[in-house]
Chains A and B, each alone.
Chain A
Amino acid sequence: MMVIMRNLSITILSLVLTTIVIGNAYYQKKQFFPSVIYITKSNPSMAILYIQAFILVILMGKLMRKVFFGELRPVELEHLMERSWYAVTETCLAFTVFRDDFSPKFVALFTLLLFLKSFHWLAEERVDFMERSPVISMLFHIRIISLLVVLGALDLNFVSHAYQSTLTKGASVQLVFGFEYAILLTIILNIVIKYTLHSTDLHRELPWEHKAVFLLYTELIMGFIKVVLYVLFVFIMIRIYTLPLFAFRPMYYTVRAFKKAFNDVIMSRRAIRNMNTLYPDATPEELAAADNVCIICREEMHAGVASKKLPCNHIFHTSCLRSWFQRQQTCPTCRLNILRTPVNTQQNPLPQQRVRDQQHHQQQPNFPWTRDATNQQNLNNAQNATTNNGASIPGPSTTLPPNVTLPENFQFFCPPFPHIPFNLAPPMPPFENLSDEELRRLESQTREGLEARVRCLQNIQTLLDVSVVMLQQYCAAAAVGQQQNSGSSDIPSTKENVPIPKENVPSPSTSNSSPHENSTNLGNHSCIKEDKNTDPNSSTNFTSAQQLSESGKSSTPLNDEMQNLTREQELARQRRLEMFDNVKHPSS
């Protein structure tokens, strides 16, 4: 309110002053031309007229803004202010280069440039916002299209004007304007392409898989054109005038944006190649068997939209997965590093097999090898199952030292998904455990074979380290198991999608030994709480959870049950709510 009042009073004051100046001149000279000459001779009068012109430009800008954009969002206003600030600073720098040409006309041209620039920025922001806006009105389309036409025509006009002027009158400040408007023209082109893509997408029923690719390449090409323009401009400026300092900041950002676009394209290509070559399309049966919601977009996966299955058996939309792989090359659900997973998934037992293996052990409380320490065969099988999969660390069942005796009815915590404790690299299997297939790969003369050999050597040391860590883990797990036996054993957390054993192992970064504070993992607090909880409610809930998994087991294979994400999430949610309840009614 205060701002509006102030603006209004400034506008009125300026208007009054202008009226006085003009009125006074006309009163003194009585005629038009003498009055004009009188005003131009007087510096104070001219100053007032300049201020008036400036205010008129601002009012004009506000009017145009109302016409083309309506109300600005706070973010837009903030960005506009920030960018205007930089633009004004750069303009002042440009003035220092062209101080000989300095004239009111020059200032006016720069003001106009700034003015038009701000509309380009706003248009860009609006079109970017299209993708995030739930409703796009007809008015929006009319506004954007007319604005783009007007701005495009103006830019083109100014570029050609600068070109003609430079040809006829030689290099002048018009060079800067020509270049600036050329950059603005590329921005307009970019906005037009984006607008077309977004509009097309809006009118489609199904998600448009290739839109992201188009956007990526648009960004790359536009970035390239801009970089070329900037380099050309700086080159010409250095030849004719001096180093154009004022162009350096935008140039830096342009080069950075181009580099990012380039990286994105590279990453995207890699992701696409990986997906096309490594992962099979999910079959309709697989989609039907799983609760087919894509965890990335939370939308159903049906046969019409392409979906891919990762080595860990998690299924996602191809387009969702591709955009995720541009950020990270891991499975969004279980964080399996897909780049470390061997290329030919056929010859490697999948993690699901391991999970099934573990589940098998879990079902029998008497571990065969805790009774019979010489049951080496079983151990080796389990080891093969896990270590052959490059990205997963051997699960609890693999390197259990034969001499560790666990309590009678100890129930093992098995993370259903592979996880990597303490970011250790996956160990390679000892040679005697390698299958013939694996050995053949090691011996082959191909590049792959060579890499496999090198990796094997490197990882022998890691293997040693890992076994030490493992031993520590099992000691800790065994200790917790004993604790659990004295309390009520609460198993639902074994189905939690988090590495439970980790919670029970004193983390290296933690010095505190209090059970409530020994977690480095804020996101997963609930599990600790529950594990320690002796609330009878939680055990009843446990039975229902178990029944759930039991019933699932009878109808679908266990691995499908494991990847049944929604149900898993539902369980996690229930558990957290339960925790919430437990916090509310703390068990004494």
Chain B
Amino acid sequence: MAGSALRRLMAEYKQLTINPPEGIIAGPVNEENFFEWEALITGPEGTCFEGGIFPTKLVFPPDYPLSPPKMQFMCEMFHPNIYADGRVCISILHAPGDDPMGYESSAERWSPVQSVEKILLSVVSMLAEPNDESGANVDAAKMWRENREEFNKIAERIVRKTLGIPAVTQV
């Protein structure tokens, strides 16, 4: 019998393949290593990230699901809850006890009840509604709060970049 982490990841992969959530494709980078996944996330429509297709990487710890995976955007991102290097900062990816931002109650933290699908859906909703309180990217949080127009422009440029369309000078 294979390791429990592996079996659970396989089960989740199967579930995601049979019943994929809309706008999300996720799976292991290669079938020999189930502990590294890539996922494509479609920017939620009606938001400034609409239409973008964002490649992300998920790295699972050997003791998954007891510990949360790490998630990173593999493209340029400008978002209050995403670090400059692409790492995602949302509460359900933090194990209770480690609290980089200092104001998350344990109810929102990682527990085995969470799953890849839930993480990805949370990230989609994070794209739609940034939480400018826990600022992984302070500049983005500030701009989101104070200069939404400028923020939208940057987001649009990023969306175009993910699609391989050159930025339009006149919008």
Contact = CB atoms under 8 A, between A and B. Distances in A.
Contacts of A520: 103-104, 108, 131, 133-134
Interface string B1-32: 11111111011100000000111000000011
A395 to B, nearest CB: 15
Nearest to A528: B129
B32 A522 contact: no
Contacts of A5: none
Nearest to B122: A523
B95 A327 contact: yes
Contact of A516 (B33, B44, B129): B129
B9 to A, nearest CB: 9
A419 B23 CA distance: 32
Interface stretch (A55-63, A541-549, A573-581): A573-581
Contacts of A297: 4, 7-8, 65
A522 B62 contact: no
Contacts of B113: 295, 332-333, 497, 565
A202 B1 contact: yes
Interface stretch (A43-51, A129-137, A231-239, A455-463): A129-137
On chain A, which size bracket covers the interface? 35 or more
Contacts of B66: 296, 323-324, 326-327
Interface string A117-130: 00000000000101
A524 B108 contact: yes
Contacts of B129: 516-517, 519, 525, 529
B166 interface: no
B112 interface: yes
A298 B103 contact: no
B56 interface: no
Nearest to A497: B113
A510 B8 CA distance: 37
B31 A134 contact: yes
A522 B31 contact: no
Interface string A423-447: 1000000000000000000000000
Given A134-B6, A298-B11, A522 B107 contact: no
A510 B131 CA distance: 10
A132 B34 contact: yes
Interface in A269-283: none
B105 interface: yes
A516 to B, nearest CB: 6
Given A128-B62, A324-B66, A498-B107, A583 B4 contact: no
Given A522-B90, A523-B92, A296 B65 contact: yes
A423 B122 contact: no
A213 interface: no
A131 B6 contact: yes
A114 interface: no
A394 interface: no
Interface in A471-529: 497-499, 502, 509-510, 512, 516-517, 519-526, 529
Interface in B101-131: 103-108, 111-114, 117-118, 121-122, 124-126, 128-129, 131
Contacts of B124: 580
A218 interface: no
Interface string A375-396: 0000000000000000000000
Contact of B81 (A328, A419, A522, A581): A522
B132 A517 contact: yes
A330 B105 CA distance: 14
B147 interface: no
Interface of B: 1-8, 10-12, 21-23, 31-35, 44-47, 62-63, 65-67, 81, 90-92, 95-96, 103-108, 111-114, 117-118, 121-122, 124-126, 128-129, 131-134
7 smallest beta-carbon distances between A and B, as pairs = A131-B3, A525-B125, A584-B45, A523-B92, A296-B112, A522-B90, A509-B103
